[in-house]
Amino acid sequence: MTKRALLVGSNFSAVPLLFALKRRGLHISVCGNRPDEPCHAHADQSHLIDYSDPTVLLSLVENGDFDFIVPTGNDVAYMSTTFVAEKLGFPRFDSMETATIIHTKQAFRSFTEQYDIPAPHSVRLHGDSPVETGALRYPLLVKPSDSFSGRGVTKVFDRTELTDAVADARRNSRAAEIVIEEFVEGSLHSHSAFIKDQEIIFDVFVDEYCTVYPYQVDSSNHPSRLSETVRSKTRAIMARVVKLLGLQDGLIHTQFLSNGDDVWIVECMRRCPGDLYGSLVDQSLGIDYADLVITLLLGEEFSVNPRFNPPLFFGRHTITSDTPSTPFSFSHSIPSSDVRIAQLKTTGKPMKSAPLDKLAILYARFETQGEMLKVAPDFKTFISLQTMQGDLA
């Protein structure tokens, strides 16, 4: 009998996961409350539900006879799926307690302090508690505990700016919980580690940049420019996190800051990162990132054999705008003969300003590391967006 899988989430970033499941010959159901999202078009069955309510998802799974449930690239999907997995006994999911530590900034900061894991010093505010920063040194970052894409994050330079920053963070937090942390000067990177039996068996490092909206990554490159010293230090830190939390087999994806040989862990997630992050790694290494995620989630034998060694030099850029607009077209002047574009929005459809919307994701191959590192941190200057309102540089 054909086994059945439920994909929790339906947007474009989930498409690689869906096709990794399809290649296994599974019956695939997709759930999500937006029928226009692409995964519904490829599913054997669609369920138009709001999976952000974990009890609604639980009811669907209880009545659906699914062999596997697969979260997609957002925290809500991951947490709701983990809730259901714990209730119904699906294997290879962490407990809700562990998932909450990893996916909630407030809980994760408590964890890093408890176990002396290098991370920015912070304080946490609950609900309407008074705004206190303790011994933290300015400048500070004020963050919602449970937001993503940099929403509600503000850098403040003195106490007079705190009240407005905290109010904005609370507006962007479902739980009205806030993290205030010291701003760390350093370059931003990510570490995708695939773990089995609480050991890292394969990993990749990527350089990341926020160029349009502060604290939302919109550009990146692989391979990373990081030294082997920093890679080894980060890998050792995350191996310790894996052991401390007793993590189940699967992906743990981490953002961190580096300055010299120093490393600070910013945040972690057990879900796939969004915006087709894995496709950057795929094109650089010649692997299938989504397939590796599915392999571990389904309990299959894990192996990875990159086709490109050394890796090809690739950059990725998500095209957004700092103002609302109605895109007509876009062009680029990227110095590359190999630019690949994933179009996300049709001509004439209104686009919100970053971080709420995006037009397309492009990938560019470069011949040398120097060429890649010259363009990737400044991708947006190579993009020209033509809108119904007039051109935007």
Name the domain count of the chain: 3
Least confident among 91-95, 158-162, 368-372: 158-162
CATH number at residue 46: 3.40.50.20
Q: Which of 140, 167, 182 is the last residue of a domain?
A: 182
Q: What is the mean pLDDT of residues 117-123?
A: 91
How far apart, in whole angstroms, are the C-alpha atoms of residue 231 and residue 115? 20
Together in a domain, 177 and 199: no
- Would 103 be classed as within a structural domain? no
Angle among Cα 234, 280, 318 to the nearest 5 degrees reads 105
Together in a domain, 217 and 171: no
Together in a domain, 79 and 214: no
In this prediction, residue 20 carries a pLDDT of 98
Q: With contact defined as beta carbons under 8 Å apart, do 377 and 317 qualify?
A: no
Average pLDDT of the chain to the nearest whole number: 93
Together in a domain, 64 and 162: no
Q: What is the mean pLDDT of residues 308-326?
A: 95
Instruction: Determine the structural domain holding residue 64 and report its residue range.
Output: 4-90
Q: What is the mean pLDDT of residues 56-63?
A: 97
- Would 105 be classed as within a structural domain? no
Together in a domain, 353 and 370: yes
CATH number at residue 232: 3.30.470.20
- Would 316 be classed as within a structural domain? yes
Q: Which of 132, 159, 182 is the last residue of a domain?
A: 182
Together in a domain, 289 and 343: yes
Together in a domain, 360 and 296: yes
Together in a domain, 261 and 377: yes
pLDDT in tens, 218-244: 999 999 999 999 999 999 999 999 999
- Would 110 be classed as within a structural domain? no
Q: Which of 49, 56, 19 is nearest to 34 (CA)?
A: 49
Percent of the chain with pLDDT over 70: 97
What is the rounded (10 degree) CA torsion for 133, 130, 118, 194?
-150
Together in a domain, 85 and 229: no
